Homo-oligomer: A and B are copies of this chain.
Amino acid sequence: MDIALVGIGKIAVDQHVPAINASPDWTLAATVSRQGSVDGVDSYTDFAQMLAERPEIRVVSLCLPPVPRFGYAAAALAAGRHVMLEKPPGASLSECHRLIELARAQGVTLYATWHSREAAMVAPAKAWLTDKTMTRMTVTWKEDVRRWHPGQDWIWEPGGLGVFDPGINALSIVTEILPDPIHLTAATLEVPENKQGPIAASLRFAHPKGADVSAVFDWRQDGDQTWTIEVETDAGTLALHDGGARMVINGQEHRAEGPTLEGEYPRLYANMAGLVATGDSDVDLAPMRHVADAFLLGRRETVAPFHD
């Protein structure tokens, strides 16, 4: 199936293009970008032109930053195309609701992807937790923004989410593996005095059965990078490391069983092929709602300026 990729930046080059090229389901038929292109693939700078000239491309994958993304998604849906969204699915919750309505009205697939949910050990962790009683969950997401987001100015701007750009990955895993819904009760956002987005955040959540759930996100992490979720239960401790790639239960490493697609983005594109085939959509806004709640309910503290 032909697919067009919109927004040829770092995440497109690092993840989307290789995943599409390796997929048995997809052919990268066009790119749309003001800056980037992919060798050997028709490139457009005008999205409306691509939609008009390439009616055979039924599926559009959007990996441009969240603020401009809505306009492209709405145009693609209005043109009857199936749409796949990088995370977060929009710059606001209301625009995501609007996209859901548009996709439903057009009878096309909308897939709001959460790539971290496709990390190898997320599904096994979810399965293990199903029948356990959780007493505590601690999320630690600490990385070096200079290393992972070099020169991405938009990430510090309103709508760019700051440290919640990686933090929402953690929340996408948390909301996937937890059998019970949680809600934010308090948050602290540390915002550099020269930036709009937070560079660090700590969150506390209420859990319906009283478990102690908290998260710390920090973009000022030199040296070892940490993307860990630790869960204490009545059957011991489960830890997801490396953003869900590794799982350790009571000190013992577990590995994925059976044949699996290698990597998060190949699985996203396989999921999208399945959704288009069955005519379904998949839009779970829970991770984004938690982020909006943190901005709504969080206490802001001004911290030292940040320079890239």
Contacts and interface: CB of A to CB of B under 8 A. Distances in A.
Contact of A289 (B93, B101, B161, B295): B93
Interface in A168-219: 181-187, 196, 206, 208
B293 A184 contact: no
Interface stretch (A108-116, A123-131, A258-266, A296-304): A296-304
A229 to B, nearest CB: 18
A147 interface: no
Given A93-B93, A93-B289, A289-B93, A98 B296 contact: no
A272 interface: no
A183 B297 contact: no
Is the interface on chain A under 10, 10 to 19, 20 to 34, or 35 or more residues?
A: 35 or more
A142 interface: no
Nearest to A291: B296
A289 B289 CA distance: 9
Interface of A: 67, 70, 91-95, 97-98, 101, 158-159, 161, 181-187, 196, 206, 208, 286, 289-293, 295-300
Given A91-B296, A97-B183, A161-B296, 11 more contacts: A70-B183, A91-B297, A92-B185, A94-B184, A94-B290, A95-B184, A158-B297, A159-B296, A196-B299, A295-B295, A295-B296
11 contacts: A70-B183, A70-B206, A92-B184, A92-B185, A94-B293, A97-B183, A158-B187, A159-B296, A161-B296, A295-B295, A296-B296
